Structure 1
Amino acid sequence: MKDAETVVFGGGGLDRAAELRGDGAGLGELAAQRDSRWIALWRGKPMVEGPAEAPRLSRLPAGHPVLADAREAPLFLGRSDKGGLWAADISPWEPPADIDIESVGAFLDASEQRHPAGPDGARFAELRAAMTRLTPFEAELAATAKALLGWHETHGFCARCGTPTRIVQAGWQRDCPSCGGHHFPRTDPVVIMLITRGEKVLLGRSPVWPEGMYSLLAGFVEPGETVEAAVRREVWEEAGVRVGRVGYLASQPWPFPASLMLGCRGEALTGEITLDPVELEAALWVGRERLAAAFQGRDPVIRPARKGAIARFLLDRWLAGTLD
């Protein structure tokens, strides 16, 4: 696809400066630069500021009071043309008791939390809600920070011997002091597929999704499996549809919590749908006219995948006839 890297979280141009991760002196010099900045995340939600229709990622200077709530040393994300960029996890901060945090971590988390020391108007917002309104660079930066911090949160112990590990390489590695094991940030490959049969596309909905939401079928790639085989297996297991030719379209880092979505297209060889009720609550073949109506909010059954997700990205281009 000619515009494959315009998908949200892709193509932001972040210079990850991997050569500096093991260079303590070089990182110290970079951190001391006047325009180096830190982004803060609370329970996986980045701090943003500005109007709701055009938020921007908050970038805090060294020593900002918000950063005092960080649980660990900040993680090095890379650099911009102005200076270095780090991520700080301030999840130990406790919001005031009168702030409703019941929806924090929910599939659709609309809550926002404001740190008393944050910049004017700054708040912690769910990344899925803000992702389409951030610049490509900010979206990539926020996704990288969220995925990296999420990995550290769940991988504090050695998978070999169970010993607590220590952070090295500026946050891009954990080492075990007991057995010498090295551990690296995890990314799980997931196939997400636009399956067509003639002029119709296959949509499904998971039982745990918001009411009426339909999207493309997706599933994890298993060990020893090619991307093409994963596409065919997942569609057969979930919907009972056989798939023939498979091709790659685009990819999207998806830090919820740590996936790489591999967008593919596939041609269905059969049309009858047989659901796996554990995976899917419903599935149906949808023509272009109906999909267009769903995108406009005019379909009584279908609520399409949210803007910013690769499913919506691929469906938009299928509808416009610009997949190739």
Structure 2
Amino acid sequence: MEAPVSTHTEHPITLAEPGGIDRAAHHRLDEAWLAAAWSHPTTRVFVVSGGQVLIDDTPDGGTGIVMTPAFEAPLTETHRYFLGTDEDGVRYFALQKDSLPGRMDQSARPAGLREAGMLLSPRDAGLMVHAVALENWQRMHRFCSRCGERTVVAAAGHIRRCPGCGAEHYPRTDPAVIMLVTDGQDRALLGRQVHWPEGRFSTLAGFVEPGESIEQSVVREVWEEAGVRVGEVEYVASQPWPFPYSLMLGFTARAVSSEIAVDGEEIEEARWFSREDLRQAIESGEVLPPSGISIAARLVERWYGKPLPRPLARTA
């Protein structure tokens, strides 16, 4: 089914700020430049391992990634990724290792994106997303898909080359649509996946299939997961989601039917919520809203009109 498409966004949402980082992709193949950048005294390096980095409290009361000058970085690393430069000319690298380094600071602790993303500055959050996405791809694509030979890392972590057949492999990004569906009463359609914690509800989502436009994917996913037909589809915003390597494309969609029939495989329950329904359900603890770091939360808040409420404290 073809969906009418609108690119107009009356209330745009911002999910990721650039943080002042220039990825400087033109330097990735320049080994002399990379060597000089690595040895520069202002260069900063952090370790990524298993999707985690070390974070620590900062003097201004915030939270930042634990970084060191390059000369203090571990001498042995699995891979070294060049992430870019900031407005002051500082170069940033990530080292992929099997484990995070030990720290003497008691406040330093390991954290994944779901925790750290809400705490870090736009600069550090962007650096972490970049590093985690590269690490996930590197760990899962070590062999050539053409001939089976083990590949080698090139372009400062952004290419894997096959010494056998000469093929070059680039980081994988899987496009996925995520949509806030509303009906004629301006109620929002939220669903819960089978494997989610009890009470967790969020927007519907799914991967784009081969030969399919993203608008067609929105229509298909809503129908397959909830049995609801949608008409107009409007793009809102996107968000990198390296779990392991998705790019979430956020939409709103207008339902042209309201009866729900969940697929029972991915979605075990779906419901229409008015704003008052959702407020009461969250405050009572009946519904857990989507994570604040996610584009799902931003889509719901955009419809809700303000930040989502929190569960009310229970009294004994």
With structure 2 as the length reference, what TM-score do the two structures score? 0.88
Distance 1:57 1:283, change over 3 A: same
**Aligned match for 1:240, one of 227, 235, 242:** 227
**Equivalent residue of 1:29, what SS?**
helix
Equivalent positions of 1:69-80 (< 5 A) are 70=77, 72-80=78-86
Answer whether contact 2:11 2:302 (CA < 8 A) is retained.
Answer: no
**Aligned match for 2:176, one of 187, 190, 196:** 190
Answer whether contact 2:48 2:94 (CA < 8 A) is retained.
Answer: yes
- For structure 1, the residue ranges without an aligned partner over 5 or more in a row are 94-114
Query: Counterparts of 1:18 and 1:119 in 2: how far apart (Å)?
Result: 34
Deviations 1:223-249 (A, max 9, x none): 110011000000000000001111100
Deviations 1:14-68 (A, max 9, x none): 21000100001111121222110111112110111117x8321111111325x24
Query: Counterparts of 2:97 and 2:76 in 1: how far apart (Å)?
Result: 5
**AA paired with 2:63?**
P
Q: Answer with 244-253 or 125-134: which moved more.
A: 125-134
Equivalent positions of 1:148-187 (< 5 A) are 148-187=134-173
Distance 1:242 1:283, change over 3 A: same
Runs of 4+ in 1 over 4 A off after TM superposition: 1-5, 117-120
Query: Counterparts of 2:95 and 2:117 in 1: how far apart (Å)?
Result: 19
Query: Counterparts of 1:127 and 1:225 in 2: how far apart (Å)?
Result: 30
Pairwise CA distance, 1:89:
1.5
Query: Counterparts of 1:171 and 1:177 in 2: how far apart (Å)?
Result: 16
Answer whether contact 2:79 2:97 (CA < 8 A) is retained.
Answer: no
Query: Counterparts of 2:275 and 2:41 in 1: how far apart (Å)?
Result: 53
Distance 1:92 1:45, change over 3 A: closer
**AA paired with 2:200?**
M
With structure 1 as the length reference, what TM-score do the two structures score? 0.86
Answer whether contact 1:69 1:91 (CA < 8 A) is retained.
Answer: no
The corresponding residue for 1:126 is: 112
Query: Counterparts of 1:222 and 1:299 in 2: how far apart (Å)?
Result: 38
Distance 1:74 1:3, change over 3 A: farther
Pairwise CA distance, 1:117:
4.3
**Equivalent residue of 2:247, what SS?**
strand
Percent identity reads: 42
**AA paired with 1:156?**
R
**AA paired with 1:192?**
I
Aligned length: 295
**AA paired with 1:177?**
P
Query: What is the CA RMSD across the aligned residues, in angstroms?
Result: 2.0
**Aligned match for 1:59, one of 54, 67, 83:** 67
Answer whether contact 2:226 2:263 (CA < 8 A) is retained.
Answer: yes
Query: Counterparts of 2:27 and 2:278 in 1: how far apart (Å)?
Result: 47
Q: Answer with 34-43 or 267-276: which moved more.
A: 34-43
**Aligned match for 1:317, one of 297, 302, 309:** 302
The corresponding residue for 1:107 is: none
**Equivalent residue of 2:70, what SS?**
coil
Answer whether contact 2:225 2:267 (CA < 8 A) is retained.
Answer: yes
Equivalent positions of 1:1-324 (< 5 A) are 1=9, 4=12, 6-7=14-15, 9-50=16-57, 54-64=62-72, 67-68=74-75, 70=77, 72-80=78-86, 81-92=88-99, 115-117=101-103, 119=105, 121-198=107-184, 199-294=186-281, 297-320=282-305
